[in-house]
Structure 1
Amino acid sequence: MELVYSQEVLLKMERRNTKTFTTGEFATYVGVKKDTLFYYDKINLFKPAGKLLNGYRYYTYDQLKAFSTLHTLRKLGLSIEELKEYISSEDKYKLVQMAKQQTVTVEKEIGKLLQIQRFFQQILSTEEELKHINVGEVYVQQMEKKHIHLSTTSLNTGMNTVEEWSDQYKRFAEQLSLQIPVPIGSLLTNDTLIQERFERVDALFSYSESETEHSRPEGLYAIYYHKGPYSNIESSYRYVTNFIKSEGYSIVGHAYEEYVYDLLRTNNEEEYLTKISIQVKRH
């Protein structure tokens, strides 16, 4: 006599032979929310092993590795569409192709994170530096060589207005492929300083952690912190250059402007703080 079992009985018999999970149990085991499993089922990305007559889903141990692979790829940044394509593909090299694509994406993300890290490190180091200076005083000190990125502005033309500076800033940021704001300073050449054309800027620069074509040379620098609007900075340059002459130094390099406190820190121009560093040597 042949025995006939209902689907539910068969599933129960199967469940006794194979360890199964409810949706909640499986979600807890793999470390996701139940809603994630429901969503994956709905979009046909990852479906349960089966359903009982009451409609409840169940999952098996055999599915753990498949889900782990899927979830790992998801956490690595693959989109739902890419995952569907991967699952449905019969190409055994598909994962290798995806790895190549994702490597490029990850490298870009690492670059962005490094920019963010340098941005905040610069804020912290500058704040520490300010604890040891008096605004309005000129300091002469040895500074180490630092690699810089330099804008392509013509040194003959220069930037004499806020509009020219802003336009060059935009182009320079694009040249650097910046994904976040980073400190960008202004450079006045040695010739500009000697001619006392303090109203102009010759180029823009940004410090670099890696070796570049340009650098701020190692040497002695006269350092001054200009407080107040940029429109008043000419008077600070005259004060510093007069100090350099009176103390027996001569200007032998460029001036580097770094914007310590700017619009990012305060809306009050009277609180702006600009660090001016001019390379000098003693007679």
Structure 2
Amino acid sequence: MSKNKNEYLTTGEFAKFCGIPKHILFHYDQIKLFQPEIVKENGYRYYSFRQFDTFSIISALKMLGMPLKEIKKYMDERDPEKLVNLLEEKSNEVDKEIKKLKNTKREIESLKDLTLNALSVKYNIIEPAYHKSMKALCSTFMDNVNDNSYPDFLTELIAFRNNSNASMIDFLGASLTIDNIREKRFNSFSFLYTKTNNTDKKNNTLVRKEGWYLQVYYKGSYQNIDEMYTDIIQYAMEHQIKLGKHAYEEYLIFEIGTINRDDYVTLILVEIEGKPQLD
């Protein structure tokens, strides 16, 4: 060992200096990734302050998700050209991770806004409302002739989420025809949709037309939504409102937001032909 003992640190001291547990240094030593500068005959190991930079490089590469085996290979063969290639590769990986994190943040903010909106409205009140057109990425056309079972719906939902890259917390809506509502086929959806800024694929882009709708923020279990649709049809008859061809359900508070299904909140929009006579 050098006469300047202050230049060297024991395994425990070097681990503390680096802010890591000692077992990491033991492991790195064992796989010959990062070894002490001095090993005495009695087995005592000593690291020098000069080794901190090397350890920092290993830590940075590990933080970027590089396996220890690859880190060792790079450290054994490193040169400036290999460093540039490695940094370019890791820079691309970081860009992809940033994009993924931004998408996750968007999903979180969107779900938060949906939930806050659902908590601020009055529930189970039917009223005419004017809505602007809405663009959405929709699923393939579903069999809306028969009253599909929940497993059928779930199968279509999973396929749609996979195909549209929508997550479990992304906004989700469904469309069904007024005819199916009148026939009490409430599980016979025409298609599912999720809001998106991507309108390049015209065949997969739904535009919900601008105009008047009968609107209700339905609070309750989906098993009882038929009662709300019965009330909507009755409301239209009493107010001499002619319904259009389509209705939309948008799920604002659902499984991820509450343990009680009676607290689910679904925005129901039913098309109206023409402008209703408002009181």
1:58 to 46, 53, 62: 46
1:158-191 CA deviation, whole Å, 9 max, x = no partner?
A: 7632222111012112212356553432122xxx
The 1-side partners of 2:260 and 2:222 are apart by 12
Q: Which runs of no fewer than 5 residues in structure 2 stay unpaired?
A: none
**Counterparts of 1:237 and 1:125 in 2: how far apart (Å)?**
26
Matched residues in 1 for 2:85 and 2:242: separation?
60
Deviates more, 1:30-39 or 1:200-209: 30-39
Is 1:186 matched up with 2:178? no
Q: Does the 8 A contact of 1:222 with 1:277 survive in 2?
A: yes
Of 56, 60, 75, the match for 1:72: 60
Q: Is the CA contact 1:185–1:204 (under 8 Å) kept in the aligned structure 2?
A: yes
Match of 1:121 in 2: 109
User: SS state of the match for residue 134, structure 1?
Assistant: coil
Distance 1:98-1:138 versus aligned 2 partners, 3 A rule:
farther
Counterpart residue type for residue 177 of structure 1: N
Superposed CA RMSD: 3.4
Q: Compared with structure 1, are the counterparts of its residues 198 and 186 closer, same or farther at alpha carbon in structure 2 (3 Å cutoff)?
A: farther
Counterpart Cα distance in 2 of 1:112 and 1:253: 39
Identify which of 269, 275, 279 aligns with 1:282: 275
Q: Match of 1:273, as an amino acid?
A: V
Give the secondary structure class of the aligned counterpart of 1:264. coil
CA contact (8 A) 2:166 2:194 kept: no
Instruction: Tell me what 1:135 maps to.
Output: 123
Q: Secondary structure at the match of 1:77?
A: coil
Aligned residues, how many?
268
SS at match of 1:37: helix
- 2:254 aligned to 254, 262, 266, which one? 262
Runs of 4+ in 1 over 6 A off after TM superposition: none
Secondary structure of the corresponding residue to residue 114 of structure 2: helix
Contact 1:145 1:218 (C-alpha < 8 Å) held by counterparts: yes
> CA–CA distance in 1 between the matches of 2:212 and 2:56?
59
Q: Do 1:46 and 1:67's aligned partners in 2 also have CA atoms closer than 8 Å?
A: yes
CA distance in 2, matches of 1:246, 1:177: 43
Percent identity (aligned):
27
How far has the Cα of 1:248 moved from its partner?
6.3
Give the CA deviation at 1:152: 1.4
Secondary structure, aligned partner of 1:282: coil
Residue segments in structure 1 that go unaligned for 5+ positions in a row: 1-10
Letter in 2 for 1:274: T
- Cα shift readout 1:201-240 (whole Å, capped 9, x = no counterpart): 1111112255454244555443212333333323322432
1:118-267 equivalences in 2 (<5 Å): 118-154=106-142, 160-178=148-166, 180-188=168-176, 192-193=177-178, 196-197=182-183, 199=185, 200-211=188-199, 213=202, 214=205, 215-244=207-236, 246-247=238-239, 250-251=242-243, 254-267=246-259
Cα–Cα, structure 1 residues 98 and 169, in superposed 2: closer, same or farther, change >3 Å?
A: farther
Q: In 1, Cα distance between the equivalents of 2:120 and 2:245?
A: 25
Q: Distance in 1 between matches of 2:211 and 2:92?
A: 39
- Judged with a 3 Å threshold, the aligned counterparts in structure 2 of structure 1 residues 147 and 25 are, in CA distance, closer, same or farther, namely farther
1:81 & 1:88 partners in 2: Cα distance?
11
Q: Deviations over 1:34-70 (max 9, x none)?
A: 3222221122111121223443322223322222221
**Is 1:85–2:77 an aligned residue pair?**
no
CA contact (8 A) 1:184 1:205 kept: yes
Give the structure-1-normalised TM-score. Answer: 0.75
Residue 5 (structure 1) aligns with: none
CA shift for structure 1 position 135: 1.8
Distance 1:67 1:116, change over 3 A: same
Deviates more, 1:70-79 or 1:130-139: 130-139
Task: Provide closer, same or farther for how the CA distance between residues 69 and 218 of structure 1 changes in structure 2, counting only shifts above 3 A.
Answer: farther
Alpha-carbon offset, residue 72 of structure 1: 0.9
